[in-house]
Amino acid sequence: MVESRKYDLNLIFQALSDPTRRAMLRSLSKKERVITEIAKPFEMSLAAASKHIKVLEKAKLVNRRKEGSFSYLSLNGKAMMSADRWIQYYKKFWEDQLDSLKELLEEIE
């Protein structure tokens, strides 16, 4: 099994389990943003948005850069890649099952 040493997959998948956090990551995939800009599309307080961001930071899915009094966040693609590698390892198992199902259905026809 593929294991990540630098990134905690439990924290990554926990962070990705929430649709608001996934939307925040999608926003960050386009460009680096300040926290207020990330929070703006959501009907929540800045404090609530900050809690979501803390979960993303704990999972190392985002990087924070301070410039003066502003914090800029960007997507950490390396953490996302560790989750992708884990998923890709198991992908072959369901692809084999789908290939077997296809063969069975072709036999039935």
CATH code at 9-107: 1.10.10.10
- pLDDT one-digit tens code per residue, 56-78: 999 999 999 999 999 999 999 99
Distance (Å, rounded) from C-alpha 21 to C-alpha 29? 12
Please list, in sequence order, all residues whose beta carbon lies within 8 angstroms of the beta carbon of residue 82, skipping any fewer than 6 positions away: 4, 6, 7, 9, 12
What DSSP character marks residue 42? Answer: S
Q: What is the per-residue pLDDT for 89?
A: 87
pLDDT in tens, 3-39: 446 789 999 999 999 999 999 999 999 999 999 999 9
Q: What tokens appear for 13 in the block?
A: 């998948």
Domains of the chain, by residue range, sit at 9-107
pLDDT value for 5: 63
